[in-house]
Amino acid sequence: MFTGKKIYYGKAPSQFGLLSLPEEKHDKYTIIVMIHGGFWQSFADLTQLQALANDLNQRGYAVWNIEYRRIGETGAGWPDTFNDVIDAIDFLTELAYSWPIDKHRVIILGHSAGGHLALWAGLQYRNQALDQSDNIHRLSVKPRLVVSLAAVSNLEDAWQRDTILGKHSPVTDLMAGTPVNKKVDYQLASPFDLLPMQIPQILVQGLKDDYVPSSMTIQYAEKAEKLHDNIQLILDPDANHFDLINPYASVWKRTITAIRETLKA
């Protein structure tokens, strides 16, 4: 199999991705942009999703497994971490000149905090609310599909849950403040507040998840459907937070099937 090639989309140390292609040759491949989680913190990196990237290559997909500036690094946080994700996705236009990838068949897939960034990026493609800030980069590559795996889809809700439990919330670090003193920024950064997306979405959630409550994903799905978004909700009664990124887990098989069926539609 083609080993992942490290390619920089920006000048900062964490502004890079690993591009990997299937072994089977094609003129152009559907490309899946992968965004890892880890509470947006620098202790986590893109190796979290390497097993999934390998699995996707074996299934015939190209993968752009991206890194981005995380809390603890210079320049991380709102809005620059978000802009890194946009820049990494838009860099596919450049990659398409040198690599056999189809920039018109782009899937964005993220897990946990990366799921939040995946949903946000999909919403950013069309959402006029984001025009309120000149500091936010606009997405030019239109995704065919956005897949969230236990996404932190509502930042204020996540912050409130941590606060009720007496915990310091990583959302506070991401946003450099709380919903009390940064309300507008929270609204611009939270997928739940930016709906509808008008791009097909697959939302995957394990009901044994101890990190992201299923209620958050369900509430996001309900609001999106009321606003006429195309939503597939996969609730797995036996899956925990990390089963969703285990290529051997049954919930991943369900996710792959849903991706394939959506692309056929």
Question: What sign for the dihedral angle of Cα 253, 191, 7, 27?
Answer: positive
What is the rounded CA–CA span in Å between residue 55 and residue 61?
A: 9
Which pLDDT score is estimated for 238?
A: 98
Query: What domains are defined for the chain?
Result: 5-264 (3.40.50.1820)
The whole model's pTM is what? 0.96
242 Cβ contact partners less than 8 Å away, ≥ 6 residues apart? none
| Residue 13 tokens, joined | 């140390």
pLDDT digits (tens, 9 = 90+) for 77-128: 999 999 999 999 999 999 999 999 999 999 999 999 999 999 999 999 876 5
Which pLDDT score is estimated for 2?
A: 46
Confidence of residue 149 (pLDDT cuts 50, 70, 90): very high
| In the block, residue with structure tokens 């065919």 | 144
What is the rounded CA–CA span in Å between residue 122 and residue 191?
A: 9
Highest mean predicted confidence (pLDDT) among 23-32, 130-139, 247-256: 247-256
